[in-house]
Homo-oligomer: A and B are copies of this chain.
Amino acid sequence: MLKYNVEIKQLMLQPADFADKEVVVSGWAKTIRDQKAFAFISLQDGSYQEPLQLVVNRDNVSNYDELVHQGTGTAYTAKGKIVLTPAAKQPLEMQVTELILVGDCPADFPLQPKRHTVEYLRTIPHLRMRTNLLQAIFRIRSEAAYAIHEFFHNREFLYVHTPVITSNDAEGAGEMFQVTTLDLNNVPKTAAGEVDYSQDFFAKKTFLTVTGQLHAEAFAQCFKNVYTFGPTFRAENSNTTRHAAEFWMIEPEISFADINDAMNLAEAMLKHIIKQVLTRCPSEIAMLNKFVDKELIERLNHVLNSDFARVTYTEAIDLLQKSKRKFKYPVTWGSDIQTEHERYLAEEVFKSPVFVTDYPAAIKAFYMRQNEDGKTVAAFDCLVPGVGEIVGGSQREERMEKLLQAYAQKGLNVEEYAWYNELRRYGSAPHAGYGLGFERILMYLTGVANIRDVELFPRTAGNAMY
């Protein structure tokens, strides 16, 4: 078969290199317009936001009518000469000399060239990536993922795969999915009438992980700087635009390091991701800025060029209480900062991303390092304008006696954490880390309001298509 030898992205980015050259492209038709003597096919191959215009001259191809009387979505391979078109919107077009109909596309193809709602597109996840919107989102998703690996690899961080199936319940919080091979129609029971997990695959009760942090800490306590980037799961029956049951998370963990080192790392990482996406996906970002969020480019550039502010939780509560703003949720020391508060701080007080630090111990997880004041812990959240919290992290409690106190205060069973405690027993070094929800940063990078549109096949309560 005739093989394509260039991507449309290459043509678009380096038009001069291809002027008057003959090339072969393959892709799918967005639109086909037949004007009798000529037909115009706008072709996309998944590499670039803007289509390539194919100009098909009736005199140059046999079977002209059969070839061009086809629907949107038809797969073609085309050979022809690249002609620069400096006066047109697109930098070049192809004068076709050979056109091959690879796969036809009947008129019932659901993605005819008109506007489709995102709600409708979610009903056809296997096809919706063929729209301009989803094309842009998933190219940005891919580049953002690469930027993350690149960032940590450049800093000599070890990439670790923490287990997806776990017998730990990380925080005693978060509802978990159970993983089993038991027959639910006929669950084996012990003499005492309990589920007989000795017959389950792992001979114990197992779950899908909610975080790789605890396992990553084990690695950081000998590789020093490590990160995870893998799927995590929450069985929370919440039907919001920001929660999915399956999502990817990035969790760096750094040793011989404190809360400030972790915040510096988070700031540098966020800026690297934004910079690489702006650099590598300009046509995608431009499209999203035009059709999804008119402030997208401005907001991303603002974050890129801001020094992130830092404020303690106690100072933040003071700022919120002194504000004239009427909040839905009351502001009192000791309670959680709500999204409305987060956005007020980031958007109106600091007008930049802001780290809020040193939260009350009572509202944070057991593993966070206890401060000298006896009531706060070395935790931080990074709040960004337009979204609110995007990164959450902390220095970890490296002192055994303080960790044991925390279990007692939280009512956790110390036995469950025996292996984790041993990390404090043998050569314990101060360490810190954070978690970044990958889909959250993607929503920020694309301006897309619903997490269901930045995951390929989203898993939410009541929904696991295919």
Tell me the complex Cα distance, A178–B464, Å: 13
Does A319 touch B at the CB level, under 8 Å?
no
Tell me the complex Cα distance, A233–B46, Å: 30
Partner of A235, one of B4, B164, B168, B181: B181
A105 adjacent to B427 (CB under 8 Å): yes
Given known contacts A159-B146, A195-B185, A246-B164, A201 and B235 CB-to-CB distance under 8 angstroms: yes
Complex interface residues of chain A between 138 and 179 (CB less than 8 A to chain B) = 138-139, 141-142, 145-146, 149, 153, 156, 158-168, 175, 177-179
Tell me the complex Cα distance, A103–B258, Å: 15
Tell me the complex Cα distance, A464–B256, Å: 30
Does A414 touch B at the CB level, under 8 Å?
no
Residues of B within 8 A of A185 (CB): 187, 194-195
B138 adjacent to A223 (CB under 8 Å): yes
Does A77 touch B at the CB level, under 8 Å?
yes
Protomer copies: 2
Tell me the complex Cα distance, A40–B144, Å: 45
Interface residues in A, total, Cβ within 8 A: 109
Does A379 touch B at the CB level, under 8 Å?
no
Interface string of A420-434 (1 = CB under 8 A from B): 101101111110000
Residue of B nearest to A177 (CB): B179
B166 adjacent to A222 (CB under 8 Å): no
Distance between A272 CB and nearest chain B CB, rounded to angstroms:
15
Residue of B nearest to A428 (CB): B103
Interface string of A172-198 (1 = CB under 8 A from B): 000101111110110100000011000
Tell me the complex Cα distance, A303–B158, Å: 26
B46 adjacent to A158 (CB under 8 Å): yes
Residues of B within 8 A of A86 (CB): none
* Binding-face segment, A125-133, A307-315, A324-332: A125-133
Does A461 touch B at the CB level, under 8 Å?
yes
Tell me the complex Cα distance, A106–B139, Å: 51
Does A218 touch B at the CB level, under 8 Å?
yes
* Binding-face segment, A57-65, A202-210, A350-358: A202-210
Distance between A337 CB and nearest chain B CB, rounded to angstroms:
29
Residues of B within 8 A of A164 (CB): 164, 208, 231, 233, 246
Given known contacts A179-B179, A459-B163, A106 and B206 CB-to-CB distance under 8 angstroms: no
Distance between A104 CB and nearest chain B CB, rounded to angstroms:
7
Interface string of A435-466 (1 = CB under 8 A from B): 00000000000000000000111010111111
Tell me the complex Cα distance, A246–B202, Å: 12
Distance between A381 CB and nearest chain B CB, rounded to angstroms:
24
